[in-house]
Structure 1
Amino acid sequence: MRYLNILALGAVIGLGAVPQAVASSSAWYSSEGGKVRLVTSGKPDEAGKIHGVLDIALKPGWKTYWRDPGDSGVPPQLDISASTNIADARLSFPPPQRHDDGYGKWSGYDRPVSLPVTFTLSSPDQPATINANVFLGVCETICIPVQTRLSVNPASDPDNATDAALVKTALATLPSPARPDFGVRVLPGDHETLVVEAHSPGDPDSVDFFIAGERDYMFGAPARSERNGKLVFTVPILDRPSATPTDGGLYFTLTSTEGAVDGQLPFP
Structure 2
Amino acid sequence: MTLLAIAASALSAPALAQEAVMSSWSKGDNASLRLIAGATAPSGKQRVGIEIALAPGYKTYWRSPGDFGVPPVFDWSGSDNVGGLDVRWPAPERFPDGAGYSLGYVGEVVIPVSVQPVDPAKPVMLVLKLDYAVCEKICIPTKGEARLWLEPGVTSVTSPRLEQFEARVPVRAKLGEHKDMLSIAEARLDETSPVPGLKFMLRTPPDGKVEDVFVEGPGMWSFGKAMLFPQVDGTVLAKVRLKDRPKGASGPTPFIVTLRGSPNAVETRLELDIPAAKP
Name the TM-score, length of structure 1 as normaliser: 0.76
Give matches, 1:1-268, under 5 Å: 24-41=21-38, 44-155=40-151, 158=154, 161=157, 164-178=159-173, 179-180=177-178, 182-184=182-184, 185-189=186-190, 193-201=197-205, 207-213=211-217, 215-224=218-227, 226=229, 230-236=236-242, 238-240=244-246, 249-256=254-261, 258-266=263-271, 268=274
Displacement of 1:31: 2.0
> Structure 2: how far apart are the matches of 1:112 and 1:128?
26
Q: Percent identity?
A: 27
> Structure 1: how far apart are the matches of 2:243 and 2:41?
40
> Structure 1 pair 48/150, CA: closer, same or farther in 2 (3 Å)?
same
> Structure 2: how far apart are the matches of 1:30 and 1:226?
44
Displacement of 1:174: 2.1
Whether contact under 8 Å (2:50, 2:110) holds in the other structure is yes
- Residues 171-213 of structure 1 deviation map (CA, whole Å, 9 limit, x = unaligned): 12223344535222212347x5333222224789853101234
Gaps of 5+ in 2: 1-19, 275-279
> Structure 1 pair 241/204, CA: closer, same or farther in 2 (3 Å)?
farther
Aligned CA RMSD, in angstroms, stands at: 3.2
Displacement of 1:102: 1.9
Displacement of 1:34: 2.1
**SS state at 1:144 partner:** strand
Partner of 1:5: none
> Structure 1 pair 140/160, CA: closer, same or farther in 2 (3 Å)?
farther
> Structure 1 pair 144/123, CA: closer, same or farther in 2 (3 Å)?
same
Whether contact under 8 Å (1:202, 1:258) holds in the other structure is no
- Residues 204-259 of structure 1 deviation map (CA, whole Å, 9 limit, x = unaligned): 9853101234x314222134154975512223051237566979x43322123544
> Structure 1 pair 24/242, CA: closer, same or farther in 2 (3 Å)?
farther
Whether contact under 8 Å (1:38, 1:52) holds in the other structure is yes
The one of the two structures with greater contact order (alpha-carbon pairs below 8 A, sep at least 6) is 1
Larger strand proportion of the pair: 2
Name the TM-score, length of structure 2 as normaliser: 0.73
Whether contact under 8 Å (2:127, 2:147) holds in the other structure is yes
**SS state at 1:69 partner:** strand
> Structure 2: how far apart are the matches of 1:126 and 1:257?
39
> Structure 1 pair 27/211, CA: closer, same or farther in 2 (3 Å)?
same
Whether contact under 8 Å (2:29, 2:142) holds in the other structure is no
- Residues 40-93 of structure 1 deviation map (CA, whole Å, 9 limit, x = unaligned): 22x643433111111011121011112210133122332212211112222212
> Structure 2: how far apart are the matches of 1:84 and 1:138?
29
Q: Highest Rg: 1 or 2?
A: 2
- Residues 10-58 of structure 1 deviation map (CA, whole Å, 9 limit, x = unaligned): xxxxxxxxxxxxx8322111123221111122x6434331111110111
- Residues 133-172 of structure 1 deviation map (CA, whole Å, 9 limit, x = unaligned): 112211111111222221111129957845x333223212
> Structure 1: how far apart are the matches of 2:115 and 2:134?
24
> Structure 1 pair 157/151, CA: closer, same or farther in 2 (3 Å)?
farther
Aligned residues: 242
The farther-off stretch of 58-67 and 199-208 is 199-208
